[in-house]
Amino acid sequence: MKPTRFSNSLRRLAPPGRLFGPLRRLALPRRLPNPLRRIAAIESLNFLVTNRIPRVALTRGMGWYSAIRSPALTRASLAVWRLFSEVDLSDAEARHYRSLQEVFTRRLVPGARTVDPRADVFASPSDAIVGACGRVENGLMLQAKDSAYRLEDLLRSSDAAHAFADGVYLTLRLTSAMYHRFHAPHDLVVDHVSYVSGDAYNVNPPALARLPGLFCRNERAVLHATLDRGGHRIALVPVAAVLVASIRLHCIDVLLRLRHRGPNEWPCAAHYGKGEEMGWFEHGSTIIVLAPAGFEPAPGVTSGARLRMGQALLQWPVAAAAAGRTGPT
């Protein structure tokens, strides 16, 4: 039996252009302002809501909730999430998600990110907004304006901190709506990973401005690596935050959940090519990049800049780059 064809009486009366043209000419805004986003932008309220709460319990709860496999629940959660932030899944590989965890850890379609191929460029390991950045001075780094913290406290090692004396640091913040996977900034070998148990404070600008030494309070991992080019030592420090249920690192094949119960030190020898995936966050958070003296931020990399994974982040020391052009790397 053929399905019944229903005619549209409005089409017979007048074409759509004549019916809806006058309404279009009213020039209403295409998107009405979202009052929830305006409220979330109030810094003092944002700080109270995201930090004066049972952070650890809620973060564990978020880990449980995000793992629930239910397409209907996932669609409803995404609808609520979009009330508070711009969630763009247009470049994601998947089109149907069974859980929020699959949304957070989504892969991208091939070609969605381009990794800078230049040998003397250190690429951004993730999509991010650049926070505080600059030189390590007397063992101190800026967290926010007029608020510094000790590199040794971040790394929990005086020897590791010494390797970056007078070096450069960049704070890369991943918002909850961003792509959450992070990649190798250059050809390198990760030879040691340290896990530091800690709290789960929010790491957004309102919290960074109000809580001194915040990065040193939160749960984090420290990836120590050696670059193939020049043998320079670098470190990547993924920092967890409220609602960041876990950090996955491929080099140790361990899911680091909040208050992970050992081991806390992993010697390894994991080689990554430039742009190769190293792991992911199960929500937005922060990666602190450390490089030795001589490296410089790439043009345009300043506080507040928005980067995509693979864009130029640092430039090689001038002398080393010149040597690389005239001899083997």
- Provide the annotated active-site residues: 127, 183, 285
For residue 280, give both structure tokens. Answer: 């992911």
- Altogether, the residues listed in the chain come to a count of 329
Q: Write phi, then psi, for 67 (nearest 5 degrees).
A: -85, -10
Contact 182, 309 (CB under 8 A): yes
Q: Nearest-CA neighbor of 310 among 111, 160, 105?
A: 111
Closest CA to 311 of 135, 118, 179: 118
Query: For 292, how many CA atoms within 13 A lie in the half-sphere containing its CB?
Result: 16
For the chain, report the end-to-end CA distance as a whole number of angstroms. Answer: 73
Can you list the pairs that 55-60 forms with residues at least 24 positions away whose Cβ atoms lie under 8 Å? 55/199, 55/200, 55/201, 55/242, 56/199, 56/200, 56/258, 56/259, 58/242, 58/243, 59/200, 59/240, 59/242, 59/243, 59/244, 59/245, 59/258, 60/245, 60/258
Beta bridge partner(s), residue 192: 224, 267
β-pair partners for 190: 225, 270
Phi, psi of 223 (to 5 degrees): -100, 115
